[in-house]
Amino acid sequence: MAMRWIEALTGSLEQKKQYRHDRARIDGLPEPYGSAARAMHRYLLSTSGIVDGDIIIRMLTDLADLWEAAAVDSTPVHDIVGDDPADFADTFAKAYAAREWQDKERARFTQAIEDAERGTES
């Protein structure tokens, strides 16, 4: 009972453990992969717009997998991200996009317009 209450306030403890694990994997990468992975991690959390914790965790686990594989294979960072790293990261995030914060506002706006057309307010 108490665990459910705590998780309702703070989020899933399992997700937090997985996040810390994946973050440690990224922090343990050799350079230049570690710097690139940390930068992409920061960018994705700032710009992806993903709000579902399970999806964020899956995305960040895959991010750690990507950069670990690149480090093992000695793949040049530029070969991974290309000429436009932001576009690469945005495309990476789109593979995980499900429910974004903008979706809620789009639905709210659409409903307000429909209500206005009917002459009602919600």
Cis peptide before 32 (omega within 30 of 0): yes
Domains of the chain plus CATH, in order, are 2-118 (1.10.1900.10)
Hey, what are 81's tokens? 């991200």
The Cα 110–Cα 33 span in angstroms is 43
Q: Are 32 and 77 in contact (CB under 8 A)?
A: yes
In tens, the pLDDT along 81-107 reads 999 999 999 999 988 876 566 777 888
Q: Are 14 and 54 in contact (CB under 8 A)?
A: no
Q: Residue 122: pLDDT above 90?
A: no
Give pTM, 2 decimals.
0.72
Q: Residue 3: pLDDT above 70?
A: no
Residue 5: pLDDT band (50, 70, 90) is: low
When pLDDT is averaged across residues 51-76 and rounded to a whole number, the result is 94
Q: Residue 38: pLDDT above 70?
A: yes
Lowest mean pLDDT among 28-37, 41-50, 55-64: 41-50
Neighbour tally for 90: CB within 10 Å: 15
Q: Are 49 and 97 in contact (CB under 8 A)?
A: yes
The Cα 59–Cα 47 span in angstroms is 13
